[in-house]
Amino acid sequence: DAGVIQSPRHEVTEMGQEVTLRCKPISGHNSLFWYRQTMMRGLELLIYFNNNVPIDDSGMPEDRFSAKMPNASFSTLKIQPSEPRDSAVYFCASSFSSGGQYNEQFFGPGTRLTVL
Amino acid sequence: GNSVTQMEGPVTLSEEAFLTINCTYTATGYPSLFWYVQYPGEGLQLLLKATKADDKGSNKGFEATYRKETTSFHLEKGSVQVSDSAVYFCALSDSTTSYDKVIFGPGTSLSVIP
């Protein structure tokens, strides 16, 4: 079992550049989550998908952020244009959501983004 | 709204010491409660959970009891090891919003020294 796979693990870019983070969820899982972790704000849920459909994107900070899930095995989080305040660790997590109860979320190793 | 409060860290303990990390919550419905752990350089992992009042979750020597009367879910371990050094997150999910939408506390960093 490969677990949740994220790429790249580290990204350093300059302000104004486009950044794309990638996630492959665990096979068979039908929910996918994008989180951002910073010292100041802790762990924040940005958006989550169920069966490839965005369910709640209220945590997306602004229009510069967008997320897609074109199929059950792949999702992207894009920041365009990037700003220094976007520097953080971005986690992807997945779960099998059956409704009516909590289902454990499995986290990837994260992508550490630094915007200069 | 729903929220989770944890004791501030960092917490530094000697090996074999007793650990308590306090967690209290606010929720509109009947939440499920969790402790997640994050080891250095890794993502979060579910450590234990409790889904209703008076339930006790346990795993790897860690325990936490769901106390509805005090809205608390304190994490305890009788004898910590160096390998327990990590960041610990208290969290909840609430059926009135969505079971999938987990609210995490700020995390408590634990360092165990030999």
Average pLDDT over residues A4-27: 97
pLDDT at B30 exceeding the cut of 90: no
With a pLDDT cut of 90, the percent of chain A lying above it is: 82
Looking at residue A89, its pLDDT comes to 96
Per-residue pLDDT tens digits for B62-101: 999 999 999 999 999 999 999 999 999 999 987 666 667 8
| CB-facing half-sphere around the CA of A35: CA atoms within 13 A | 25
A54 class by beta-carbon count within 10 Å (0-12 exposed, 13-18 middle, 19+ buried): middle
Residue type, B43: G
Cα separation, B22 vs B99, whole angstroms: 23
Residue A16: band (very low, low, confident or very high) from pLDDT cuts 50, 70, 90 = very high
pLDDT at residue A113 in the model: 98
Interchain pair A109, B98: CB under 8 A: no
Asked if A82 is an interface residue toward chain B (Cβ–Cβ < 8 A), one would say no
Q: Per-residue pLDDT tens for B34-59?
A: 999 999 988 999 999 999 999 999 99
pLDDT at A102 over 80: no
Hunting for tokens 């989080």 — which residue is that? A77
pLDDT digits (tens, 9 = 90+) for A53-99: 999 999 998 899 999 999 999 999 999 999 999 999 999 999 988 76
Q: What integer best gives the mean pLDDT of chain A? A: 93
Residue A15 is predicted with a pLDDT of 97
* Chain B residues near residue A91 by CB distance under 8 angstroms: 43-44
Cα–Cα dist B56/B35, whole Å: 12
Give residue B96's pLDDT.
65
Residue A15 to chain B, least CA–CA distance (Å): 25
Task: Identify the pLDDT of residue A100.
Answer: 67
Residue B7 has pLDDT above 90, yes or no: no
Give the model's pLDDT for residue A103.
79
Q: Would you call B82 helix, strand, or coil by DSSP?
A: helix
Chain centroid to Cα A71, Å, comes to 15
User: Looking at residue B41, what is its pLDDT?
Assistant: 87
Q: 3-state SS of chain A?
A: CCCCEEECCEEEECCCCCEEEEEECCCCCCEEEEEEEECCCEEEEEEEEECCEEEECCCCCCCCEEEEEEECCEEEEEECCCCHHHCEEEEEEEECCCCCCCCCCEECCCEEEEEC
Overall average pLDDT of the B12-34 stretch: 93
Mutant choice from B100, B103, B108, B109 vs A, greatest count of A C-beta within 10 A? B100
